[in-house]
C-alpha cells in the first residue's frame, strides 16, 4: 500500500503560501550574526511538534527583538509554561510572526499586559489587540529575548505562520533567510525490528541496533517481515546543535520502499509526529518506517506495504538509507541484510491481565475496583496493554486503593485514558479529600485528578502507575521576608508554598486588601507589586493557597517600602 498526498491538498498548501514568504523580504529578528540555531522545524520530539526555529542568543537574555516585517502586534501572551512571554505580529501579506520565551516586553507593551492581568486578576493572559494599538515598522524593537515558559535555556523561539494561523511555515526550508549550511546530516544508529501482523494485534520485537552504521561490516539477520528506525541529526555551520532532518528515504536493493519529507505541517497534525517515533528507545528519537494506522501524516509518506519490508528468500540484500537536510545536503549508508527464518518466532504474549486494545474502537478494562476506558483513536496502533496490580490497598501507607500499573509509559497516546477507582475503601468523612496519585518511575508522586463519580474517583491519565490517596493537610506557606521587613526597590519577593499531598492548585495575593500580581513557579509564589503599590510606609500582605483537595492555608504579614 502506498500513501501519496492528494493533488488538491498540495495545490491548497502551495496557494496558501504568500509570495512574500517565498523570498528574502524578511528582516532578522536580532542583530546577532551569523544566525545560529539550537533547534529547527520538525525535529523528532515524542512529546510535541516543534513548529519554528530556536535562535541562539549567546547564552544570555536581553537581546533586542525586532519585527521581521512591518505590521502590528495582534496578540500578547504571558504564561509560566509554553512560550512564556510571547508577541504575535500580523503582517499585511497575511503572515504572522511569533516570538516566544521573551524576557520582557517593551515598556508600553508591558503596561498593556499589566493592565490585562489586573483586569482578569490573573498572571496568565492571552489576548488579541486591535491593529492601531501597537503598529510596528520593520526592524522596530518590541521586546527582549529571554528564558521564560517551557525553555531549557536562553533563546528565541520564532515562527512564521500562514493560512489563518493554522500552518506554521518551515521557513528555513522555504528560503526566507539566507544562511550557510554545507554540513551533511549524520546517521548515528539504525534499529531493526521484527514485525508480525498475522494476529489481531501486531507484535514488534527489536532485532538489532547498529551504531555508526556507515562503518558497519557484516550482514544483519532479520525476520521475513521487519522495519527499520533511523536515528539521524543534521548539523550546520556556527552551531553545535543537533538539528532536524528534512527527508528520510530507504531503498531495498534498487527499489525505494520508504520516503518521508517534513515540509510544512499544520498545527492540527503536529501531534502525529509521535507516530513516527520508535517507542522504547530511551534517550534517542528514531524515525521508523512502519506507518502506524492512526498517523495523520501518512499523506507525507510514500511507502511500500506500510513501511514493512518483506524478504521472500535467504539471499543477501542491500538496505540503503538516505537522509537530507532542507538545503539538500545528504548522507547515506548501506547495510547488508539476510532473512533468518528462526527470527520470525515471537515469544507468546502473556494475555493474563492484558487488554488486546484495537486503536479504532473504544476499549474498557475493569477489575477489582479499577476501570480503564480508552476512546477510539487514542492509540497510534493496536497493541496489548498490560494492567497489573502492584500492591494492595494500605491506608497506613497512604494507599486507599490497590496500586495499578496501567500500560507501558513508552506508549504514546493521542488522547488520554480515563481511569477510575472505587472509593469503597475510603472512609465517608474523607471522600471529598481523595484523589488519584501518579507514581513516577523515579518514585515521585504527583496529582493525577479527582473527578468524583458515584462511588468512584476518576482522572484523565497517561499510561503509568496509579492509586487513590487522601489529602487532609493544607499547604505550608513560608514568606521569604520577615514580618515588617523593608523590601528592595523592585518590591519583588516570594513565598514558599509546599504541599506534600495533592499539590497547590490555586493561590491569591493581596496588598492592603487589593489583588496583586503573582505567579506560582516551582514551589514558590512570586509576588510582583505594581508601581502604584510601592508608596512608602507599611503595607499588609495576605497570601493564600489551596491544594487540589480544597485544603487552604493563609498567611498575613507586613512589608515596608
Instruction: Please provide residue 187's backbone torsions phi and psi, each rounded to the nearest 5 degrees.
Output: -85, 105
Task: Compute the average pLDDT of residues 241-253.
Answer: 95
| Per-residue confidence (pLDDT) for residue 347, from 0 to 100 | 65
Convert the pLDDT of each residue in 161-174 to its tens digit. Answer: 996 767 999 999 99
Per-residue DSSP letters for 391-440?
A: E--BGGGTBSS-EEEES-TTS-BSS-EEEEEE-TTS-GGGGGGEEEEEE-
- Say if residues 193 and 207 touch (Cβ distance below 8 Å): yes
Domains 186-344 and 476-560 share a fold: yes
Q: Give CA–CA dist 73/65, Å, rounded.
A: 13
Query: What is the band of 350 on the pLDDT scale with cuts at 50, 70, 90?
Result: low
What architecture is domain 476-560?
Answer: Sandwich (2.60)
Please state which of the ranges 10-24, 85-99, 373-387, 437-451 shows the lowest mean pLDDT.
Answer: 10-24
pLDDT score of 429 more than 50: yes
Task: Compute the average pLDDT of residues 432-438.
Answer: 98
Convert the pLDDT of each residue in 184-237 to its tens digit. Answer: 999 999 999 999 988 889 999 999 999 999 999 999 999 999 999 999 999 998
Query: What is the band of 11 on the pLDDT scale with cuts at 50, 70, 90?
Result: very low
The x, y and z cell numbers of residue 392, run together, are: 494492595
Nearest Cα neighbor of 191 from 121, 301, 286, 267 is 286
- Say if residues 374 and 416 touch (Cβ distance below 8 Å): no
Per-residue burial over 5-26, b = 16 or more CB atoms within 10 Å of its CB, e = otherwise: eeeeeeeebeebbbebbeeeeb
The CA distances from residue 63 to 191, 349, 413, 452, 535, in Å, are 42, 56, 38, 49, 32
| Per-residue confidence (pLDDT) for residue 165, from 0 to 100 | 66
| Per-residue confidence (pLDDT) for residue 534, from 0 to 100 | 61
Instruction: Please give the CATH topology (third level) of the domain spanning 354-470.
Output: Chondroitinase Ac; Chain A, domain 3 (2.60.220)
Please state which of the ranges 278-287, 450-459, 518-527 shows the lowest mean pLDDT.
Answer: 278-287
Convert the pLDDT of each residue in 103-154 to its tens digit. Answer: 999 999 999 999 999 999 999 999 999 999 999 999 999 999 999 999 999 9
CATH number of 7-168: 2.70.70.10
| Per-residue confidence (pLDDT) for residue 243, from 0 to 100 | 93
| Per-residue confidence (pLDDT) for residue 354, from 0 to 100 | 87
Q: Cβ neighbours of residue 383 under 8 Å, at least 6 residues apart?
A: 201, 202, 357, 359, 411
Neighbouring C-beta atoms of residue 32, cutoff 10 Å: 15
Mean of per-residue pLDDT scores for the chain: 91
Residues 166, 171, 175, 177, CA torsion sign: positive
Q: What angle do CA 21, 22, 28 make, to 5 degrees?
A: 60
Query: What is the band of 295 on the pLDDT scale with cuts at 50, 70, 90?
Result: very high
| Per-residue confidence (pLDDT) for residue 19, from 0 to 100 | 34
Q: What angle do CA 23, 54, 241 make, to 5 degrees?
A: 110
Instruction: Please provide residue 491's backbone torsions phi and psi, each rounded to the nearest 5 degrees.
Output: 80, -5
The x, y and z cell numbers of residue 275, run together, are: 507516530
The x, y and z cell numbers of residue 204, run together, are: 514488534
Neighbouring C-beta atoms of residue 1, cutoff 10 Å: 10
Convert the pLDDT of each residue in 62-82 to its tens digit. Answer: 999 999 999 999 999 999 999
Is the domain 186-344 a CATH 2.40.30.110 member? no
Task: Compute the average pLDDT of residues 239-268.
Answer: 94
Task: Identify the residue with better confidence: 416 or 179.
Answer: 416
Query: What is the band of 348 on the pLDDT scale with cuts at 50, 70, 90?
Result: low
Q: Map out the domains of the chain as residue ranges.
A: 7-168, 186-344, 354-470, 476-560
Amino acid at each position: 500500500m502506498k500513501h501519496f498526498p492528494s493533488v488538491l491538498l498540495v495545490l491548497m498548501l502551495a496557494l496558501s503560501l504568500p509570495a512574500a514568504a517565498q523570498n528574502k523580504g524578511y528582516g532578522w529578528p536580532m542583530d546577532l550574526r551569523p544566525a545560529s540555531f539550537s533547534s529547527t522545524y520538525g525535529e523528532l520530539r515524542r512529546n510535541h511538534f516543534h513548529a519554528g526555529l530556536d535562535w541562539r542568543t549567546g547564552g544570555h537574555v536581553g537581546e533586542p527583538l525586532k519585527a521581521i516585517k512591518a505590521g502590528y502586534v495582534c496578540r500578547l501572551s504571558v504564561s509560566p509554561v509554553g512560550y512564556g512571554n510571547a508577541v504575535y505580529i500580523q503582517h499585511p501579506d497575511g503572515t504572522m510572526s511569533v516570538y516566544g520565551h521573551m524576557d520582557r516586553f517593551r515598556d508600553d507593551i508591558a503596561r498593556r499586559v499589566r493592565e490585562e492581568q489586573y483586569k482578569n486578576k490573573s498572571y496568565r493572559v492571552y489576548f488579541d489587540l486591535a491593529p492601531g494599538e501597537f503598529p510596528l515598522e520593520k526592524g522596530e524593537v518590541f521586546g527582549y529575548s529571554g528564558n521564560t515558559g517551557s525553555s531549557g535555556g536562553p533563546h528565541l523561539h520564532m515562527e512564521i505562520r500562514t493560512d489563518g494561523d493554522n500552518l506554521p511555515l518551515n521557513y528555513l526550508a522555504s528560503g526566507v533567510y539566507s544562511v550557510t549550511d554545507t554540513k551533511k546530516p549524520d546517521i548515528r544508529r539504525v534499529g531493526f525490528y521484527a514485525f508480525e501482523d498475522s494476529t489481531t494485534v501486531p507484535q514488534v520485537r527489536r532485532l538489532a541496533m547498529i551504531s555508526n552504521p556507515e562503518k558497519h561490516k557484516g550482514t544483519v539477520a532479520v525476520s521475513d517481515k521487519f522495519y527499520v528506525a533511523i536515528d539521524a541529526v543534521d548539523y550546520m555551520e556556527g552551531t553545535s546543535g543537533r538539528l532536524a532532518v528534512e527527508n528520510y528515504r530507504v531503498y531495498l536493493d534498487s527499489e525505494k520502499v520508504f520516503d518521508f519529507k517534513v515540509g510544512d505541517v499544520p498545527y492540527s497534525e503536529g501531534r502525529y509526529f509521535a507516530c513516527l517515533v520508535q517507542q522504547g528507545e530511551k534517550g534517542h528519537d528514531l524515525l521508523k518506517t512502519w506507518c502506524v494506522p492512526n498517523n495523520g501524516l501518512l499523506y507525507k509518506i510514500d511507502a511500500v506495504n506500510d513501511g514493512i519490508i518483506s524478504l521472500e528468500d535467504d539471499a543477501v540484500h542491500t538496505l540503503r538509507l538516505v537522509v537530507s537536510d532542507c538545503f539538500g545536503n545528504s548522507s547515506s549508508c548501506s547495510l547488508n541484510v539476510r532473512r533468518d527464518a528462526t527470527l520470525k518466532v515471537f515469544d507468546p504474549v502473556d494475555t493474563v491481565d492484558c487488554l488486546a486494545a484495537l486503536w479504532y474502537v473504544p476499549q474498557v478494562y475493569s477489575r477489582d475496583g479499577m476501570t480503564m476506558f480508552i476512546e477510539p483513536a487514542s492509540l497510534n496502533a493496536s497493541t496489548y496493554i498490560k494492567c497489573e496490580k502492584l500492591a494492595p490497598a494500605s491506608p497506613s501507607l497512604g494507599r486507599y486503593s490497590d496500586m495499578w500499573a496501567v500500560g507501558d509509559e513508552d506508549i504514546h497516546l493521542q488522547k488520554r485514558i480515563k481511569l477510575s477507582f472505587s472509593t469503597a475503601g475510603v472512609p465517608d468523612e474523607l471522600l471529598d479529600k481523595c484523589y488519584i496519585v501518579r507514581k513516577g518511575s523515579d518514585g515521585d508522586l504527583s496529582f493525577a485528578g479527582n473527578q468524583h463519580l458515584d462511588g468512584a474517583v476518576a482522572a484523565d491519565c497517561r499510561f503509568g502507575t496509579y492509586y487513590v490517596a487522601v489529602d487532609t493537610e493544607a499547604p505550608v506557606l513560608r514568606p521569604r521576608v520577615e514580618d515588617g521587613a523593608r523590601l528592595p526597590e523592585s518590591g519583588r519577593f516570594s513565598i514558599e508554598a509546599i504541599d506534600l499531598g495533592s499539590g497547590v492548585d490555586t493561590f491569591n495575593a493581596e496588598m492592603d486588601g487589593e489583588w496583586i500580581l503573582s505567579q506560582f513557579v516551582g514551589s514558590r509564589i512570586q509576588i510582583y507589586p505594581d508601581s502604584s503599590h510601592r508608596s512608602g510606609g507599611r503595607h499588609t500582605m495576605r497570601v493564600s493557597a489551596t491544594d487540589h483537595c480544597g485544603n487552604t492555608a493563609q498567611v498575613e504579614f507586613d512589608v515596608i517600602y
